Amino acid sequence: MWPTVLAASAFLLAVIVLVLVFHRRRRNRLYQQLARERAQIVANHPVRLAATCPEQYAAEFAKRPLVRIPDFVATESLEAMKQEALDNLHRVERTYLPTHKKGGTVSYEAISRYAPHCLSFYHSPEVQNWISMITGVKVYPTPDQDQSSLSLLCYTETGDHINWHYDHNFYKGRHFTVLLPLINRSRDGGPSASQLEYKISQEVETCDTSPNALVVFEGVKVLHRATPTREGDTRIILSMTYCSDPRNDWRKELLRRIKDIAFFGIRALWD
């Protein structure tokens, strides 16, 4: 009896390991292919910035780890990204974690395939130079398999929100969250009810997430949340992460994947 059970268990385990190994290889090939295609996409969809003087924001960021830069991109670039966000709403992956989060996300992989202006913005050398100048360290995009490296956070249903949290750092270098609100409106035309609130000291502050205001913060230092939307609200934010050294080890990679279940469901563990 026991030898049969042991043999069956060993066989099952071997099958699971083989499936995971083949899946990992297939995903790695996909990420390599997307990375190869990316340079041409970025070249074909240049981003035009409207903001000037990153030095001014660098001085501010040196004092507190959150800055907001209004009117960051030129109108045509903003409109192109906004249209891509709306065109990709059917690709949203929705998750609900009681008491913590409810909302939809379009993954980095989907953006790489279907939202070239958003992809181009994230990989724009000019944008990276801005973030590097503001933060005072040279930053790089986080890895391709990290689906939160670049994503669209889509609050389109009543009560979409995320509760108080830090953006934990799963990489070797310093890690920054960069948000570019694309759409933030209620049914009657005003802003949505969802507010970005944060605490650097004890006091709760509100960050204006009107479209085209770039928000840069160091997620491990800034406790933050997005309050719930009301019926008829639409709030779509291009969310990006940059890091001064985007390498990690398998333990941090596993923790990152567990965290990403909140955004992409259980597939975050193996995709």
Burial of 159 (0-12, 13-18, 19+ CB in 10 A): middle
Residue 201, number of CB atoms within 10 A of its CB: 7
Spatial separation of the C-alpha atoms in residues 269 and 271, rounded to whole Å: 6
Quick one: which segment of 123-131, 135-143, 167-175, 209-217 binds Fe ion (CB under 5 A)?
Answer: 167-175
Spatial separation of the C-alpha atoms in residues 30 and 100, rounded to whole Å: 32
Quick one: which segment of 20-28, 162-170, 200-208, 262-270 binds Fe ion (CB under 5 A)?
Answer: 162-170
Which residue of the chain is nearest Fe ion when measured via CB? 167
Decide whether 113 or 221 has the Cβ nearer to Fe ion.
221
Decide whether 49 or 61 has the Cβ nearer to Fe ion.
61
Quick one: which segment of 67-75, 113-121, 166-174, 196-204 binds Fe ion (CB under 5 A)?
Answer: 166-174
Quick one: which segment of 27-35, 88-96, 124-132, 164-172 binds Fe ion (CB under 5 A)?
Answer: 164-172
Q: Shortest gap between Cβ of 167 and Fe ion (angstroms)?
A: 4
Contact with Fe ion (CB under 5 A) among 167, 218, 260, 271: 167
Q: Please give the size of the binding site for Fe ion, defined by CB under 5 A.
A: 1
Decide whether 160 or 167 has the Cβ nearer to Fe ion.
167
Spatial separation of the C-alpha atoms in residues 47 and 77, rounded to whole Å: 6
Decide whether 30 or 223 has the Cβ nearer to Fe ion.
223
How far separated are the first and last CA of the chain, in Å rounded? 37
Residue 152's nearest CA partner among 119, 124, 176 is 119
Give the CA radius of gyration of the chain.
20
Handedness of CA 125, 126, 129, 134 (dihedral sign): negative
Decide whether 167 or 218 has the Cβ nearer to Fe ion.
167
State both tokens at 91: 């690709």
Q: Shortest gap between Cβ of 223 and Fe ion (angstroms)?
A: 9
Q: Shortest gap between Cβ of 162 and Fe ion (angstroms)?
A: 7
Q: Shortest gap between Cβ of 186 and Fe ion (angstroms)?
A: 22
Contact 231, 203 (CB under 8 A): no
Spatial separation of the C-alpha atoms in residues 180 and 211, rounded to whole Å: 7
Asked if residue 84 binds Fe ion (CB under 5 A), the reply is no
Decide whether 93 or 117 has the Cβ nearer to Fe ion.
93
Residue 126's nearest CA partner among 74, 39, 48, 211 is 48
Q: CA distances (Å), 4 to each of 7, 13, 15, 177, in order?
A: 5, 14, 16, 52
Quick one: which segment of 58-66, 107-115, 160-168, 261-269 binds Fe ion (CB under 5 A)?
Answer: 160-168
Decide whether 38 or 242 has the Cβ nearer to Fe ion.
242
Taking each helix axis from N to C end, the angle separating 116-123 and 75-87, rounded to the nearest 10 degrees, works out to 130
Decide whether 80 or 218 has the Cβ nearer to Fe ion.
218
Q: Shortest gap between Cβ of 30 and Fe ion (angstroms)?
A: 26
Q: Shortest gap between Cβ of 184 and Fe ion (angstroms)?
A: 16
Chain positions contacting Fe ion, by CB under 5 A: 167
